[in-house]
Structure formats: structure tokens, C-alpha cells
């Protein structure tokens, strides 16, 4: 029967704490990476992006780290708020086909007030 | 509210019906996308149009037929769908290569 992949990885954090969401990407030829936030009943919303010539980029309350050696991406959210509760997806843009944007499996973030 | 508008928000159709999903953006973006998303899964790429020409078809069954009438509009024509095609269909647009996608809120499709 179908059992693999039915459950999204879940991260629960206390309000005010920092959150770290991890993502392993698949293609070493990818050179542009994006984090999206998807709330229930809505489409994914852009949070922050990073190109492969960088290893860190900061936004407002969010930081993305890129480790190309191990093909790993992380999203750090500072002072997590209840409004941050959502599913977070990393996505990679393939260098060989710039319009091909592929999403990772996603992590469900739940903020405990 | 998003800058990418999808209609209808919900659609129920039988397996013998023909229906269309519509997407509109007025940001002057050159690329438009269709994604399919099942519950608790990531969006899966279906089609990409670049400058109104189909540039990517991810081996999607022919019962899904995309159309890009102009640079602002994207349609997805549906015919003889199966119950397993029930999903959230998301439209997105982007301005240039290596730029974020802007998504609509999707059409929730149920095939009975």
C-alpha cells in the first residue's frame, strides 16, 4: 500500500524561538534556489532566493544558507511568529533549463503560541 | 490577493466533461507555468510557456492541453480526466530567467 510520502516532515517551534528548515537538493547543475511559503488554501509565496555564487543571503527575519559541497540549503527564521505557520518548500532552478523550477518535498512549520 | 488570478477557484467535473482552467497576469512577465499539487506534496511542473511558446512539457498526458492566447493569459483545457487527476492546479509567472515565480491561489479540481 501507499505509505511513503503521505506525511510532510513537521517542525514545531515555540513562538519567539528561531526556526531552521533544511532541504537537500538533487542536481549539482542547479544554480538558483528559492524558498517558498505556502499557507492553507493559497499558492506558494516567494520568501527569499540565492544564487550558487553565494553561500548566505539575509532578508527580513530570514536567512538562507547554501552548501554546494553537500547540496544542502537551509532557511532560518528569526523570532518565529504564529503567522509563520505554513508549509515551506525549497525549489531549484536547473542551469540546463532555466525555466524548469523543481520543488523539494516541503516541511510543515507549526508555531506554538 | 495575488497578482496572478486563477479561475475558477473550485471545479467539479465528470470523467466525460470538457472544462478549462484560466490564468491571468498583468505584470508583463514573459513566462507562465502550470503546476499540479496533490495534498501534502510539492507542486509538480506540468508546462511552461516562454514568450507565448510552449517551452517545457513534462510528459503530461494529452488529456491536459495548455494554451497561451497572449502574453497575459494561460489556459489549461481538460478532457476525459480520471479521478486521480483531482488536485490543486497552480498557475505561476516569472519575469526572467532565475527570478522567483509568482503564483496564483490555484483551482481545486475534483474529478468524479
Q: What is the pLDDT of residues B68-88, one digit of tens each?
A: 999 999 999 999 999 999 999
Q: Phi, psi (5° rounding) for residue B85?
A: -80, -5
Burial B67-103 (b: 16+ CB within 10 A, else e): ebeebbebbbebeebeeebbbbbbbbbbeeebbbbbb
What is the pLDDT confidence band of residue B98, given thresholds at 50, 70 and 90? confident
- Count of A-B CB contacts under 8 Å: 63
Name the nearest CA neighbour of A13 among A106, A89, A85, A107: A85
Which residues in chain A are contacts of B2 at CB distance < 8 A? 43
A105 → chain B, closest CA residue: B42
Q: In the structure, how many helices (H) and strands (E) does chain A have?
A: 0, 10
What is the pLDDT confidence band of residue A95, given thresholds at 50, 70 and 90? confident
Percent with pLDDT over 70 in chain A? 94
3-state secondary structure of B52: coil
Which residue reads 518535498 in cell numbers?
A: A105
pLDDT digits (tens, 9 = 90+) for A14-44: 999 999 999 999 888 888 999 999 999 999 9
Amino acid at each position: 500500500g501507499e505509505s511513503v510520502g503521505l506525511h510532510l516532515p513537521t517542525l514545531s517551534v515555540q513562538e519567539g524561538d528561531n526556526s531552521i528548515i533544511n532541504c537537500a537538493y538533487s542536481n549539482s547543475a542547479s544554480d538558483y534556489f528559492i524558498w517558498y511559503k505556502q499557507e492553507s488554501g493559497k499558492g506558494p509565496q516567494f520568501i527569499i532566493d540565492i544564487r550558487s555564487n553565494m553561500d548566505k543571503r539575509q532578508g527580513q527575519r530570514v536567512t538562507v544558507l547554501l552548501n554546494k559541497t553537500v547540496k544542502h540549503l537551509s532557511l532560518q527564521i528569526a523570532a518565529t511568529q504564529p503567522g509563520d505557520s505554513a508549509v515551506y518548500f525549497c525549489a531549484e532552478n536547473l542551469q540546463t533549463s532555466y525555466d524548469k523550477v523543481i520543488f523539494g518535498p516541503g516541511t510543515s512549520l507549526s508555531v506554538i503560541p | 490577493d495575488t497578482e496572478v488570478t486563477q479561475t475558477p477557484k473550485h471545479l467539479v467535473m465528470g470523467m466525460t466533461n470538457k472544462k478549462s482552467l484560466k490564468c491571468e497576469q498583468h505584470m508583463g512577465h514573459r513566462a507562465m507555468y502550470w503546476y499540479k499539487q496533490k495534498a501534502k506534496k510539492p507542486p509538480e511542473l506540468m508546462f511552461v510557456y516562454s514568450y507565448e511558446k510552449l517551452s517545457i512539457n513534462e510528459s503530461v498526458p494529452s488529456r491536459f492541453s495548455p494554451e497561451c492566447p497572449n502574453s497575459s493569459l494561460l489556459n489549461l483545457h481538460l478532457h476525459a480526466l480520471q479521478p486521480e487527476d483531482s488536485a490543486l492546479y497552480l498557475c505561476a509567472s516569472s519575469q526572467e530567467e532565475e527570478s522567483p515565480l509568482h503564483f496564483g491561489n490555484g483551482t481545486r479540481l475534483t474529478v468524479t
